Structure 1
Amino acid sequence: MINCLIVDDAPVAREILVQYCKLLPVLRVVGQCGDAFEAREKIQQLQIDLLLVDINMPVLSGIELLKTLKNPPLVVFTTAYREFATDAFDLAACDYLLKPFSIERFIIAIDRVVEKLNPKTSTILEIPPSIPSHHLLLRTEGRINKLNYDHIVYLEASRNNTKVITSSEHFISTTPLSSIETQLPAELFFRVHRSFIINLSKVTSLHGNRIILGKIEVPLGGNYKDEFVKIFGV
């Protein structure tokens, strides 16, 4: 068992990690902290093998927390900001998860932790090496379309179908939005509403509960607003 401590100032983010950890028998969550100072106390009191820690926290960041520890446990950083990646890996982090990340991406990170703790231990989920994909294979009626991620503006659930809007075309697939979501890289695409997933690189502005993607507007759901605002950098 790997004793892990979750450190994140966002309650929703902590709960997501708790649920992910429950899916992997090798992990045991021994504590949750809302800031780095509380985490330091837990680390001194408990046997911690792994820190699942946010970077952007008030007063003391996740990176600064790690620097204060003499014998730090293994760490996987979780953050909405990609610009901290270099600093994170300079501190020998096992992995760097960019929010919002999928359970598949989380499993890959934990596999790396398991390998560091015991190189002879088999991984949790064997994932064959592959060339990173830059496109989505979308099945529509009678054909399979290869859509470059950069060309996709947003996806919308429409009854039992999914509408995919690109910079030049519209596609309608019978594949549910939730299934397509698992194929999209979490660092590029984000669900902003139960019926909408957007390409983060296409966002030009935020106006109340409306996200502007060039000349297109999509709604921002209340359950997704806090995390999106954090990613948006407001």
Structure 2
Amino acid sequence: MDQFTCLLVDDEPLARELLVTYCGYLPQLRIEAVCGNAFEAKTMLQEKAIAILFLDIHMPVLDGIGFLQTLKTRPQVIMTTAYKEYAVNAFDLAVCDYLVKPFSLERFIRAVDKATENIGSLNNHNPVAKEADDHLFIKTEGKLYRINHDELLFAEANGNYTKIITTDKPLTPAMSFSSLEQQLPATQFVKVHRSFIINKSKVRRIEGNRVFIGEQEIPIGKNYRDELFKKLGL
């Protein structure tokens, strides 16, 4: 049986104990570490290969949502929280599942099954998984939009929001620029400025320190120019 390494992060001792107990029922899970805050967890992620991260939201200094936004690469993330209202923010960050405390063992097992299936799909290069990865969902103005990667022209940081320009319409979801960047495939999208990320297949021309997507002029930051040209094969 394959084993999946786990990191448990919660500032409440009883919540940590429950997670340890639940994990103990599933022989495929191996707990690598149990942490009480995001800073301990960040250290563990740097030191150990973690497959599944169980993460609380309300924690001191740096909460779970903020912590996820600091991670460039993530394991499968299962949020564990007493607060339902953060679900949209969590799924904007592409978490695997969202467990609302108190959750049952049955609900916990379903979340773990989803995480391990995701890992299996990635490891096996499942074509169905690849097909599912050609889009993302964007929530804005109370609506959920499915955006195919090929429809996304570029995105611009806009304070606490991100302006997303598609072939259909502009969208301004309440999500950070960094969280959108983490959801986009690096093979297709490239950051050309601290405030802009573009779909490289949509580049019409480059003039000096400007790249054009359609008629839209986008600046190229000096620290990003080499990576852009590398991604374009130049």
- Give the TM-score taking structure 2 as reference length: 0.50
2:45 maps to 1:43: yes
* Inter-partner Cα distance in structure 1 for 2:7 and 2:110: 18
Q: Secondary structure at the match of 2:121?
A: coil
User: Residue 52 of structure 1 aligns with which residue?
Assistant: 54
The 2-side partners of 1:64 and 1:49 are apart by 20
Partner of 1:224: none
1:68–1:120 distance in 2 versus 1, CA, 3 Å: closer
- Give the aligned partner of residue 15 of structure 1: 17
SS at match of 1:118: helix
Percent identity over paired residues: 55
1:33 aligns with 2:35: yes
Decide which of 67, 86, 89 is 2:88's aligned counterpart. Answer: 86
- Supply the AA of the counterpart residue of 2:44: K
Amino acid of the structure 1 residue aligned with 2:56: D
**Unaligned stretches of 5+ residues in structure 2:** 124-234
Q: How does 1:122-201 map to 2 (within 5 A)?
A: none
**Residue of structure 1 in register with 2:68 after alignment:** 66
Distance 1:117 1:72 in 2: 12
Query: Root-mean-square deviation (CA), in Å?
Result: 1.4
Q: C-alpha separation between the residues in 2 aligned to 1:64 and 1:4?
A: 20
Q: Does 1:76 align with 2:81?
A: no
> How many residues are aligned here?
121
Q: Deviations over 1:130-155 (max 9, x none)?
A: xxxxxxxxxxxxxxxxxxxxxxxxxx
The letter of the residue matching 2:95 is A
Shift of 1:120: 9.6
Deviation at 1:50, TM superposition (A): 0.9
Unaligned runs of 5+ in 1: 122-234
User: Which residue of the partner structure matches residue 2 of structure 1?
Assistant: 4
Matched residue type, 2:39 = F
CA deviation after TM superposition for structure 1 residue 119, in Å: 3.3
1 CA distance for matches of 2:31 and 2:41?
Answer: 13
1:107 is aligned to 109
Structure 1 stretches of at least 4 aligned residues deviating more than 2 Å after TM superposition: none
Given the two structures, how large is their TM-score scaled by the length of structure 1? 0.50
Deviations 1:36-88 (A, max 9, x none): 00100010011111110100111101111111011111100000000000001
Distance 1:22 1:69 in 2: 27
Aligned-partner Cα distance in 1 for 2:66–2:51: 19
Matching residue's letter, 2:22:
Y
Change over 3 Å in CA distance of 1:120–1:83 after alignment to 2 = closer
CA deviation profile, 1:64-122 (whole Å, cap 9, x unmatched): 1111011111100000000000001111111000000000000000010011001399x
Q: In the alignment, residue 106 of structure 1 is paired with which amino acid?
A: F
2:92 and 2:122 map into 1 onto residues whose CA distance is 25
TM superposition shift of 1:20: 0.2
Instruction: Report the Cα distance in structure 2 between the residues aligned to 1:87 and 1:110, rounded to whole angstroms.
Output: 20
Q: Distance in 2 between matches of 1:48 and 1:104?
A: 23
Q: Name the aligned partner's letter for residue 47 of structure 2.
A: Q
